[in-house]
Amino acid sequence: MPASDALIAAARAARERAVADFSGFKVGAALETTDGHIITGCNIENASYGLTVCAERVAIFKAISDGHRAFRRMVVVADTPAPTPPCGACRQIMWEFCGDIEVVMANLQMVTAMLQMTDLLPLPFDKRLL
């Protein structure tokens, strides 16, 4: 089942709440649970950059802190013509907490790509290796 218009709209709305005073690169994310809840996140920057948190991780951590544990897909929105995939740190967190979910990348007008997590992180490090 493809990402709903509501999920994409939620990610676009979350992007508007981003705090990107340094880079100007606003990102929004919307995470859909298996029971249909939508949890959003936006990137939050600070002057040290290293403490910046990406939209994808904000959405996942919010979802987990609210008691959600099973996820269907995530939409990531940036104002770019090409797909903007999650960074490496986000891919690791997405894999560990969400598994092989669908990741939809979109811009302000359209969906630009749809991939599974196994396509984005083909050889993940996880508890199987510990």
Residue 109 burial (10 A CB sphere; 0-12, 13-18, 19+): exposed
Q: Pick the catalytic residue: 16, 56, 96, 102?
A: 56
Active site residue 16: no
- Beta strands, E only, 57-124: 71-78, 102-106, 111-116
d(CA 70, CA 33): 6
Torsion angle in degrees (nearest 10) through CA of 124, 105, 29, 43: 80
DSSP code for 53: B
DSSP code for 130: -
Catalytic residues: 56
